[in-house]
């Protein structure tokens, strides 16, 4: 939680309920400690999709397919999702879960390391007008180098977990040694997307912290 837990709970309590299959998937993810988008960030993602009306969504970090299923439920009829995951244990569940959804034919699961997959998509000349970046936090900078060229003007990049449970504001000396690299890299990443001339970025205290970036039109 990066803001008062009661505020987060209150906001979540106002949410419209999810369809039954998404509720079950969410419950299963929480029970098995699979990382998924935070409850209070679900409607933020939905609102952005409703506003942007994307045609091509790219997700980096499928896990078991919860956020991909959520986006598929609410995306426009002519929209397609490409989602990338590399961990076999997660892929096993993602394949099954994504097969079961209504829009299954509109979701492509790429089973590969995202760095390799992104390079291939870029080589193929693919373009994505909505990107949900939610994989290895220490690799965000590396991913961005291939993502940005694939975003046309007006495209949206939503990056998850950028405030690291709030620990991002702490001095690196307070951060446990094993978390220091990620701490440093996330700060560099946020600096990068805030100062990149091609982007307008707002860092929002929703969920575990999200960065909303829009590719400038000129
Ligand atoms: N977007 C999901 C949660 C993703 S959790 C949801 O909200 O439902 C992050 C996922 O990214 C993990 O499953 C992890 O295995 C995957 N991941 C991390 N680094 C990766 C990489 N380099 N390539 C592909 N997947 C990666
Ligand atoms: Mg996340």
Domain ranges of the chain: 5-215
Local confidence band at 48 (pLDDT 50, 70, 90 cut-offs) = very high
Local confidence band at 1 (pLDDT 50, 70, 90 cut-offs) = low
Residue with tokens 């509109």: 106
Tens-digit pLDDT profile for residues 80-120: 999 999 999 999 999 999 999 999 999 999 999 999 999 99
Indicate the top mutation candidate among 25, 34, 63 to test ligand 1's pocket, ranked by most ligand atoms within 8 A of CB: 63
CB atoms near residue 165 (< 10 Å): 10
Distance 205 CA to ligand 2 centre (A): 13
Contact predicate 54/129, CB 8 Å: yes
Q: Is 65 left (phi over 0), alpha (psi -120 to 50) or beta?
A: left
Contact predicate 64/30, CB 8 Å: no
Tens-digit pLDDT profile for residues 4-33: 888 888 888 898 889 999 999 999 999 999
**Separation CA 206–CA 144 (nearest Å):** 21
Local confidence band at 177 (pLDDT 50, 70, 90 cut-offs) = confident
CA nearest ligand 1 atom 25, residue: 85
**pTM for this structure?**
0.96
Check whether domain 5-215 has CATH 3.20.20.70, yes or no: no
């Amino acid at each position: 939680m990066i803001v008062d837990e009661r505020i987060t709970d209150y906001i979540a309590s106002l949410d419209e309920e999810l369809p039954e299959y998404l509720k079950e998937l969410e419950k299963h993810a929480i029970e098995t400690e699979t990382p998924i988008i935070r409850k209070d960030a679900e409607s933020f993602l939905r609102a952005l999709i409703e506003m942007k009306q994307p045609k091509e969504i790219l997700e980096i970090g499928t896990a078991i397919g919860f956020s991909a299923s959520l986006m598929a439920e609410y995306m426009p009829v002519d929209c397609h999702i490409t989602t990338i995951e590399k961990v076999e244990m997660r892929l096993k569940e993602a394949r099954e879960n994504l097969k079961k959804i209504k829009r299954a034919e509109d979701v492509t699961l790429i089973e590969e390391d995202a760095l390799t997959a992104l390079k291939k998509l870029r080589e193929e000349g693919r373009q994505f007008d909505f990107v949900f970046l939610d994989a290895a936090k220490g690799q965000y900078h590396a991913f961005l180098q291939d993502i940005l060229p694939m975003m046309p003007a007006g495209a949206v990049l939503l990056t998850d977990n950028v405030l690291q449970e709030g620990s991002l504001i702490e001095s690196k000396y307070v951060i446990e040694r094993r978390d220091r690299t990620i701490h440093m890299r996330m700060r560099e990443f946020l600096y990068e997307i805030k100062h990149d001339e091609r982007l307008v970025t707002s860092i929002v205290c929703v969920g575990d912290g999200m960065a909303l970036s829009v590719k400038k039109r000129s």
